[in-house]
Each structure stands twice: as C-alpha cells, then as structure tokens.
Amino acid sequence: METNLVGDVPSDELGAWIDIFQKRRSGVITAEHIKRFAKMDPTPFAVTVKDATREIEKFAAKTARKLASVFKKRIIIDPLPPEFTEENLARWTTFNLKPVFLPGEDIGRERKLKGWKKPEDWFYDRVGDGKIKPVWDDLPPTTLRRGWYLADFTVGADYTDGTQMFVDDPLAKIIAKLREEKKIGKYDKTPMGSRFSITWDEWDNPLLTYIASAYGLPRAQVRLERAIEFNAIGNLYDANRGKFNAWEWFHDQFGGASRLCGGYRDSGGLSRVYYHWQTSRDYYIAGRPLVSFAR
C-alpha cells in the first residue's frame, strides 16, 4: 500500500522541503527567494544583502562622509552593533528594516543645515514652552540620540476614505492577527492588516510587543520614532517620508495625554508636526516602529 502522501519524493528531499517551508514561515526565506528558485536563478537562498556585514561597513563609511558634508564637521560612526550578523540582517530585511546611523546632533531652529527640511516653527515653539516633553531627561526633543538604528522603510500610503494600507506591508499579518483576537481595534472600512485606525496606546501595548518578538529583539529596543528622528531619517536616508496625505504617530509626549504626529504632505510633509490624543482612533494616522541600538 502506498504510504507516501506527497508523491515519489526521497525522504532526504522531503526533509529539505520541510526545512524550506519552516524557514519561509519564520522569515529567513522570503517570497523573493522562492521567486528566484522558481526561475532557477543561482544561489536563490543567499543572504538577502550579499555579504551583509561588509555592505553595512561600506555604508557606514559612506554615511560618515555624508554626515560630515551636512553638519560641516567630522562625524565619527560608532562600531557596528554585535547584533548586526548576516542572519539577523537578513531577517530584518523581510520587515523592510534597514540600518541607519544618527549622530548626536541638535537640529535646532537656528542651526544652518544646507538642504535640510526642518520641523515647522510650531514644533520649536512647543519645545520652548515645555508642551513637548523630553523622552529622556538628558536629551531635548530637538536632539538626536547618537547611535545605530533599524528604520522601517515600508512605503506609506495616501488616505483613501480609511481603506488605505502601506505598500506590501510586512506587519500586516501581525496587525490582522491582533485584530482577530480583539487586542487592537479598527473602524469598519479599515482593512484588517492596515496600520491605520490604531491608537497610540495600542501601538505601545500590545502591538510593539508583538512586533519586537517578530524582529527577535527585546521590547525595550522597539518604539515609535520621535518627531526629530522621523525628520532626520527623511532628510538623510528615506526620500519617501512626508510624501503622503496621511499622518504617522510619534513617540514624543505632548501635554498630559497626547502624542505628536506628523508627516502630512499637504501641510508641510517632512516638516509637519502636530499632536493628537493618544487614545484616539483615526483613519488617517499610522505608525512606524524604530529599533534603537544607541547606548
């Protein structure tokens, strides 16, 4: 009697396919790998970024030159975090996470930075009157924390009556699962996997906890971007920031029970910053995790 349920496949080949499927579920093997395999491309299961550590080291050198040009002084780039292994970098790439380095520089209102699109005056005024609270006592809201980060480069979306989603969003499955389990909410028009219609409080707990687990990182390292980080990453690394008529939550606290948000194209884009109640659920506000390796 035939007992092979998957056809005439040798046991060692079957084991290889099981291993592939397990790696696909865990994110080690991506859809792009499978497409390359189907086309018989060479080395389809190579690390997503070839020789990832070497490429990041070359990126670090390039970044040092770029930052020196922007800030008109030498910027020393910290050594790569030990967590930046090829295996981890390949895993994080499946979530559209890319390493970026932020210098410990203040992006003050009066500072001259050629070609830099700074936050609007409202942001600096509210920092000045104390409405925007520092995240850490030793760091003003206008100053970057020096160090390496993983920034989420997933392309945003224009607002479309609440039905919009980020492009090919790798977080969609996590968000949909939490909505199915009634751990985060939404509005009727909101797609199950959409980053929109999630309150700031729901991002903070439980969503970022589940996202950190998927990244394979401690929860303490994962948060939403601060307004000044969103601005810096958009100026230095990600040209898509501020290009959509929708908003993104920021980590910064405003007043007693509100958080900053910004990035709205039609009123300033990269420079736009405002605030909203952190318990508010809105069709037009999304979020973007940031992973910090800053010491």
Nearest to 159 by CA among 182, 200, 187: 187
CA–CA separation, 249 and 132 (whole Å): 14
Task: Name the residue ranges covered by the structural domains of the chain.
Answer: 8-46, 90-292
pLDDT at 56: 82
Cα(292)–Cα(295) distance, integer angstroms:
9
pTM, to two decimals: 0.82
42-51, 180-189, 207-216, 224-233: least confident range = 42-51
Mean per-residue pLDDT of the chain = 88
- pLDDT, greater one: 32 or 203: 203
DSSP 207: I
pLDDT 10s digits, 173-192: 999 999 999 999 999 999 99
141 close to 135: Cβ distance less than 8 angstroms: yes
pLDDT digits 0-9 by tens, 106-136? 999 999 999 999 999 999 999 999 999 999 9
Q: Compare 137 and 13 and report the one with higher pLDDT.
A: 137
Name the token pair of 182: 């009634």
Q: How far apart are CA 71 and CA 235, in angstroms?
A: 12
